[in-house]
Structure 1
C-alpha cells in the first residue's frame, strides 16, 4: 500500500513554516493534453501561497559537451532524456522545508541556462510532465496521480502552436519530431503509464467536473494536514 506523504506542518522557533512533507500531485499525459491548464487552475483556485507548479520540462538532462547538431538529434520524448533523479532529490528537499534551484532549460538551444529559478517549500506541489509516471520513485512520492486523456490530434495542434510561438522552433522541425519521436514515444511510454493514474481526465484541462473532483480531494488532504497540525 502506498504511503501518504503527509504529516504535520509546524512552526519553528524562528517563525518559519516547517514542511516535513507536502501534498504532491502529479499530472501526466501527452504533450498538449492540458496538463499546464489543470495545474494553473489548481493554483488559481487554491492560491499561489499554497501551491507551486514544477514542470518536468525543466529537468531535461544537460549536454553542454555535445555540439548543437548532436543535441538536436536527441530523443527528448524518451525517459532517458530526463534527469528524474535531480527532480526526485528536489522533491525530497522541498519536503524537508528547503528551497531548491530549478534548472532553466533553453528549448531552442537544447541546453540548461546558467540561471536557475529558486522555489521555496509549499503545502501543495503540482508536478506536470509527459513522463512522470514512467519513473517508479516519482510515482511513489505522489499523493495524487492524474492522467490527461486528450485526442492526439488536439494535442498535436496545441504542441505545434506552442513550439513555434514560445520555443522558436520551425514548422519542419516540429513536424519531423512529432512523426519520429513524439507520437511513437507516446504510444510506447506515456499512454501505458496511465495505468498508474488515480484519475484519468477525458477532454483535457477544461473538464470542469473532473477539476471539481480533484479540488475536493486536495481539500480533503489539506484537512488532514490541519488535523495533524493540531
Structure 2
C-alpha cells in the first residue's frame, strides 16, 4: 500500500513535534515514521561570511525542500531513503544519515511544510497546531537554552528579528491550507514533557480518527 503522508505544522515551539509523536502513538498498530523538517537545513555554516547570530533560519530558503520532496516521493514509491541529520551546534549536516523505510503513515513535521506548494502536493492530510505567541516564545526559550546551548539574549533577539516576522509571512498562512487546525492553548510552557503528554494525546485524537478512516478506505 502507498504510504499516507501527513503534514504537521505550526509556529516554532507550538508543540507540533510533541503532537506528531502523540499522533504516532495513537495510530498504533499501524507502522508510522516521523520525519522532521529541521533535519533538512542546509550546510549554511560552509557559506562565506556565515554568522549564526544573524542568519535567517526561519526563512523557507533555509531548508532544503528539494531534497525533502525528492525523498518523500521515494517513500511514496515504496523506496527506502537515507534522511539527513543536522547538528544545531555546528550548523552543519552530520556525515551520518538515518535510514527511513516506507510505512503505513509518514508524518512530516516542521514550520514550513505547508509553505512550499511542491511539498503540499505530496500530502494526503495536513494539520496546523495553533498556539499563542507567548507560549511559543516561552517554549522556544527553554528549548534553545537547555538543548542548543544558546543564551537568553540571543534567543530573544532572533525571535524579534526573524522568527516572528517569518512566522507571520510563511507559517501562519498554513492555517488556511491545513485540513485540520488544532488549538494548543494549554499552559504548555512546562519543560516537563511527562506533564504535557496527556493533553497532547487528547489533542491528537480527532486527527488520529480521521487518518484511521483514510487508511481503512484504502484497504
Give the structure 1 partner of residue 106 of structure 2. 125
Q: If the length of structure 2 is used for normalisation, what is the TM-score?
A: 0.88
Q: List structure 1 segments (4+ residues) > 4 angstroms apart after TM superposition.
A: 207-210
Give the structure 2 partner of residue 73 of structure 1. 54
Verify the 8 A CA contact 2:85 2:93 in the aligned structure 1. yes
Aligned counterparts of 1:190 and 1:69: Cα–Cα separation in 2: 24
Give the CA deviation at 1:110: 1.0
Larger radius of gyration: 1
Give the structure 2 partner of residue 38 of structure 1. 19
Verify the 8 A CA contact 1:22 1:122 in the aligned structure 2. yes
Structure 2: segments with no counterpart, 5+ residues: 186-196
The answer on 1:221 being equivalent to 2:202 is no
Give the structure 2 partner of residue 142 of structure 1. 123
The answer on 1:163 being equivalent to 2:144 is yes
Aligned counterparts of 1:164 and 1:48: Cα–Cα separation in 2: 36
Cα distance, 1:43–1:193 mapped onto 2, change above 3 Å: closer
Give the structure 2 partner of residue 15 of structure 1. none
Aligned counterparts of 1:104 and 1:45: Cα–Cα separation in 2: 26
Q: If the length of structure 1 is used for normalisation, what is the TM-score?
A: 0.84
Give the CA deviation at 1:225: 2.4
Structure 1: segments with no counterpart, 5+ residues: 1-8, 10-20
Give the CA deviation at 1:209: 5.5
Give the CA deviation at 1:208: 5.6
